[in-house]
Amino acid sequence: MNQTTGPAVVLLSGGMDSAVVLAHASAAGHACHALSVDYGQRHRAELDAAATLARAMGAVSHKSVSVDLRSLGGSALTDEIAVPERASPGIPITYVPARNTVMLSVALGWAEVLGARDIYVGVNAVDYSGYPDCRPAFVSAFQALAHVATKGGVEGEAWQVHAPLMTMSKADIVNRGLQLGVDFSLTVSCYQADQAGRACGRCDACRLRAKGFEEAGVVDPTHYV
């Protein structure tokens, strides 16, 4: 049995990366409090997947918080903009302005209430879509913010924002998840999954996911339309 290392808040979207991060934090000995953010995403099946994962993976608690980024728009995930089915140069239209900043801020607030000083997030700077808030510089900057923006920080508590998948390829993430016993069939990654959580197989998230299983030499358990 792992030695307990205190509570941690784990951002759990319902996708494969966040599921692996939850398993990683649990294996590190944390009592994991899973946090999902309903930010108005069109692919809402991932929220159902997050609740299923939290139960299946033994999270101490699971909270879903609503933040209406849909009212701001500007993204194919929150606005009436078609989800692209081909990769394009530059930051894609599936980028949601300020999403990870908002989600980590909510996680930081809950962590302070819980007395947790560890926050886990599944951002990745290798096999990702070019989002600026998935880079090491962003995670480091947010951790620095936590130290000056919270009661715990100004009283000398040390915050740690963990991004254990940051330098992994999707194939590495698949293999790490299998080592930790993650059931990837419970996860939903597709940007336009249907209400049953079935994936389109064509969007950027689906392509990256399929590539990861293929390169890992593992059968893809994704449920496709």
pLDDT band at 1 (very low <50, low <70, confident <90, very high): very low
Tokens representing 149 are 């923006």
Phi and psi of 10, rounded to 5°?
-120, 120
Q: According to DSSP H, which parts of the chain are helical?
A: 16-27, 45-56, 99-114, 136-149, 151-154, 170-179, 204-216
Q: Domains in the chain and their CATH numbers?
A: 7-216 (3.40.50.620)
Is the pLDDT confidence value at 115 over 60? Answer: yes
Over residues 74-89, the pLDDT tens digits come to 999 999 999 987 766 7
Any residues with CB less than 8 A from the CB of 127 and at least 6 apart, and which? Answer: 168, 169, 170, 173, 208, 211, 212
pLDDT band at 2 (very low <50, low <70, confident <90, very high): very low
Tokens representing 91 are 């930051």
The Cα diameter of the chain in Å comes to: 52
**Distance separating alpha carbons of residues 40 and 108, to the nearest angstrom:** 20
User: How confident is the model at residue 86, as a pLDDT?
Assistant: 72
